[in-house]
């Protein structure tokens, strides 16, 4: 059993050991390794006056990452999901003061001690029903300052130079040395979408708003009958949309299921025209809901299929079935940025793609060293290969480490946390696991570092021009660990009608960042509608966008 836990000994036989047998062991539940001495720290600034002061501080300093209601987004954790209930005020004060660059949390030590305690008071008081009074983020003034920074050095880029139709290719030869630039802390400031701003697609394509007023919309899936399913994470809902009006909006909408635990991954089973179940991946479990073609509401309560590694760290769990229905894949991201699994209990069975027989679902490892593919996995309908979209590690500079999209080799090792992009060693693990250097696989398509690649889909529609057939479209949620933002777009990965990537990708849908660097939209989910148009969920504006081809 130790060979499964010790990744230096991961050999094919070890890959087959059942993951479920290991879930029962205790993991380190200490709050960001806070020292025991801070647990008893008492908040000298409690009460309503302190809470209101903390609310203003939160709006000024924390809202842009954790959100108006503290729900978080992407890799930014929720503050209202109950996990802070067991954390003492002293530990929260310690973490606000110290921060964690590896996890994207800046140090707020420059705030006065009183202000930090006021933040603790407000954060500890936050509940979903109590945050509606928080100020709405302002809309940026497009007539004022634009970012003044030197242009990026190709093949690297930033949002100022993202333009639909631009083809890009990054190779391992282009990678800089670690710390060629200082790691940045540039979390997005979410603002309202100005009336004169709209997503931008290539010539010949039209963009319409398919749905609005959603609650943290994430994964999109098209059912065999053409209905569109959407996971709304924080509200624990799955929505279903049906039909298409003349102005590109759904004819019907319904809540398919509610009361779920942060649903993310969606997959219909068995594959094909007549599914019986909708499988849903969440942070710590996989459940299934009874489903038959045309159901607008689940016919029964969710049934638990299996436990999943967690909680903490990357929480999204993408799910997918093999074309023959004999394999169920589950992507589980790491619990940290770059902690060593050899010494960190919470990394056990994480940074992997797991697999099981759906009839039993005793999970085992399919591929490993994949920091976070929880945002998106998909099977290529042309080749039957599993592909994934991966968020790589942070903290090594603006242009390290590239995110990537790749087909997944069974038993393959993709480097995390000791190696990256083949035999490049992470300096934070210098000298560790030299035997894995030559095993680390170079992915098929290297993307911009830190752009947070999420859901991907293979385009099988007939509306777009023929050269798009079989290509990958993927949502890029956007960076925080880069001096000038990158991502916040949808990209196209051409597979050349052969099911094989040649390393390049293309900007496809852009415009979610304003000239001043503020962000109004963040693409997450992506799927093709029955008419061949492309649907993109956006958890920045809480919308779904529809991209159709007009040829004009």
In this predicted structure, which of 45-49, 134-138, 280-284, 453-457 has the lowest mean pLDDT? 134-138
Identify whether the C-beta of residue 350 lies closer than 8 Å to the C-beta of residue 370. no
How far from 537 is each of 214, 217, 338, 347, 365, CA to CA, in Å?
Answer: 10, 6, 29, 30, 30
Say if residue 255's pLDDT is above 80: yes
Spell out where 233-341 has E strands.
Answer: 237-242, 252-257, 265-269, 277-281, 285-290, 303-307, 319-321, 328-332
Above pLDDT 70, what percent of the chain?
89
C-alpha to C-alpha distance for 235 and 240, rounded to whole angstroms: 15
Residue 475's pLDDT band, with cuts at 50, 70 and 90, is very high
pLDDT at position 321: 98
Say if residue 551's pLDDT is above 70: yes
Say if residue 57's pLDDT is above 50: yes
Rounded mean pLDDT, 93-106 = 79
Residue 82's pLDDT band, with cuts at 50, 70 and 90, is confident
pLDDT at position 483: 95
pLDDT at position 133: 36
Rounded mean pLDDT, 233-238 = 94
pLDDT at position 7: 46
pLDDT at position 132: 36
Say if residue 336's pLDDT is above 80: yes
CA 9 to chain centroid, in Å, comes to 29
pLDDT at position 75: 60
pLDDT at position 128: 55
pLDDT at position 233: 92
Rounded mean pLDDT, 341-361 = 95
Burial (CB count within 10 angstroms: exposed 0-12, middle 13-18, buried 19+), residue 86: exposed
Say if residue 29's pLDDT is above 70: no
pLDDT (tens digit per residue) in 453-467? 999 999 999 999 999
Fold exhibited by the domain 159-291+313-549: Neuraminidase (2.120.10)
pLDDT at position 5: 34
User: What integer best gives the mean pLDDT of the chain?
Assistant: 89
Say if residue 435's pLDDT is above 60: yes
C-alpha to C-alpha distance for 106 and 537, rounded to whole angstroms: 28
- Token pair for 340: 């060593």
pTM of the model: 0.80
pLDDT at position 6: 42
Length of the chain: 552
pLDDT (tens digit per residue) in 503-548? 999 999 999 999 999 999 999 999 999 999 999 999 999 999 999 9
Identify whether the C-beta of residue 28 lies closer than 8 Å to the C-beta of residue 347. no
pLDDT at position 3: 33
pLDDT (tens digit per residue) in 177-200? 999 999 998 989 899 999 999 999
Rounded mean pLDDT, 211-236 = 96
How far from 111 is each of 60, 120, 321, CA to CA, in Å?
Answer: 12, 12, 49
Residue 146's pLDDT band, with cuts at 50, 70 and 90, is low
pLDDT at position 113: 87
Say if residue 444's pLDDT is above 90: yes
How far from 291 is each of 17, 222, 236, 256, CA to CA, in Å?
Answer: 32, 13, 18, 10
pLDDT (tens digit per residue) in 35-55? 888 888 888 888 777 787 888
Say if residue 16's pLDDT is above 80: no
pLDDT at position 123: 87
In this predicted structure, which of 115-124, 151-160, 188-197 has the lowest mean pLDDT? 115-124
Q: How many CB atoms lie within 10 A of CB 13?
A: 9
Above pLDDT 90, what percent of the chain?
70
pLDDT at position 41: 85
């Amino acid at each position: 059993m130790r060979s499964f836990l010790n990744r230096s000994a991961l050999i094919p036989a070890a890959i087959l050991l059942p993951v479920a047998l290991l879930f029962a062991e205790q993991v380190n539940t200490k709050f960001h390794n806070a020292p025991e001495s801070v647990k008893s720290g008492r908040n000298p600034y409690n009460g309503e006056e302190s809470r209101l002061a903390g609310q203003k501080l939160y709006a000024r300093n924390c809202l842009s990452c954790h959100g108006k209601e503290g729900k978080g987004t992407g890799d930014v954790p929720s503050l209202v999901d109950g996990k802070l209930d067991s954390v003492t005020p002293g530990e929260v004060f310690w973490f606000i003061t110290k921060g964690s660059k590896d996890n994207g949390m800046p140090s707020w030590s420059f705030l006065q001690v009183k202000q930090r305690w006021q933040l603790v008071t407000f954060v500890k008081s936050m509940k979903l029903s109590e945050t509606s009074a928080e100020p709405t983020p302002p809309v940026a003034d497009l007539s004022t300052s634009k970012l003044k920074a030197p242009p990026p050095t190709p093949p690297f880029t930033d949002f100022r130079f993202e333009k639909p139709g631009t083809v890009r290719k990054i190779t391992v030869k282009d990678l800089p040395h670690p710390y060629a630039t200082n790691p940045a802390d540039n979390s997005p400031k979410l603002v309202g979408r100005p009336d004169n701003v709209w997503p931008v697609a290539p010539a010949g394509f039209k963009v319409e708003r398919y749905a609005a007023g959603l609650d943290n919309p994430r994964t999109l899936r098209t059912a065999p009958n053409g209905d569109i399913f959407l996971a709304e994470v924080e509200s624990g809902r799955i929505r279903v949309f049906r039909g298409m009006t003349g102005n590109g909006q759904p004819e019907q909408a319904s809540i398919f299921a509610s009361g779920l635990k942060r649903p993310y991954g969606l997959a219909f089973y068995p594959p094909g025209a007549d599914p019986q179940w909708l499988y849903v991946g969440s942070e710590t479990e996989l459940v299934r809901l009874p489903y038959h073609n045309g159901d607008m509401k689940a016919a029964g309560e969710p049934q638990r299929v299996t436990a999943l590694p967690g909680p903490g760290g990357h929480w999204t769990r993408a799910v997918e079935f093999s074309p023959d229905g004999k394999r169920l894949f589950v992507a589980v991201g790491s619990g940290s940025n770059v902690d060593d699994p050899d010494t960190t209990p919470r990394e056990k069975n994480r940074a992997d793609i797991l697999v099981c027989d759906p009839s039993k679902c005793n999970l085992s490892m399919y591929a490993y060293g994949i920091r976070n593919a929880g945002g998106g996995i998909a099977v290529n309908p042309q080749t039957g290969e599993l592909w994934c979209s991966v968020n790589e590690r942070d903290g090594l500079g603006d242009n390290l480490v590239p995110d990537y999209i790749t087909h997944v080799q069974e038993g393959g090792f993709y480097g995390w946390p000791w190696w990256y992009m083949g035999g490049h060693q992470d300096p934070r693990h210098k000298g560790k696991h030299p035997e894995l250097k030559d095993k680390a696989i170079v992915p098929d398509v290297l993307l911009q570092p830190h752009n947070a690649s999420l859901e991907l889909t293979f385009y099988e529609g007939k509306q777009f021009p023929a050269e798009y057939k079989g290509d990958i479209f993927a949502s890029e949620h956007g960076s925080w660990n880069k001096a000038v933002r990158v991502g916040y777009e949808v990209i196209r990965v051409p597979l050349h009608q052969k099911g094989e990537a040649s390393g390049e990708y293309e900007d496809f849908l852009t415009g979610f960042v304003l000239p001043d660097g503020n962000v109004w939209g963040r693409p997450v989910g992506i799927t093709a509608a029955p008419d061949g148009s492309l649907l993109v969920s956006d958890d920045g504006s809480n919308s779904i966008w529809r991209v159709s081809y007009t040829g004009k």
